[in-house]
Amino acid sequence: MMNTTINQTTEEKMIWTGTPSQWVNLPFYILCVPLTLAFGVGLLLALWKYYDTKLNKLEITNQRVIEYRGILSRTTDELELYRVKDLKHEQPFFLRILGLSNIVLDTTDHSNALLKIKGIASGKELKEQLRQAVDRRRDVKGVREVDFK
């Protein structure tokens, strides 16, 4: 007789999904104003940056972080949570005023060793959810970090 029970630890569940806030682009948009007045290209650059940020979608599950980015061509990058070595919550002054923050993931992933999730609301809570998910995923995978110096 075949065992048909499903292991609950393998079920992937969504923790968070979203895009960075456009507020992270404010300095770039301000720079585009004189370029628009002088050369007329500032508006095109600002629109490109707007869509680049708007189409940068992040999905965080209990197993991985998936990032979709690109305007004309799309790239999908996945980061397994058990590869996260360290989490940092940043609140630069301007973002802090707006209630936004950044989360920085230091990882052992070769293609994305440092993943920065920029301009998100409730960053402190998301960082804590990520920390717990990383710990659970490491337990499931049997991964332990060992530093050699």
- Assigned domain for 6 exists: no
Rounded to two decimals, what is the model's pTM?
A: 0.83
33-80: pLDDT as tens digits: 998 888 888 899 999 999 999 999 999 999 999 999 999 999 999 999
Range(s) of the domain holding residue 62 = 14-141
In a domain, 130, yes or no: yes
Average pLDDT value over all residues in the chain: 90
- For the chain, the DSSP string reads ----PPPGGG---EEEEE---GGGGHHHHHHHHHHHHHTS-HHHHHHHHHHHHHT-EEEEESSEEEEEE-SSS-EEEEEEGGGEEEEEEE--HHHHHTTEEEEEEEE--SS-SEEEEEEEETHHHHHHHHHHHHHHHHHHHT-------
CATH code, 104: 2.30.29
Q: Is residue 9 part of a domain?
A: no
In total, how many domains does the chain have?
1
* Residue 8 included in any domain: no
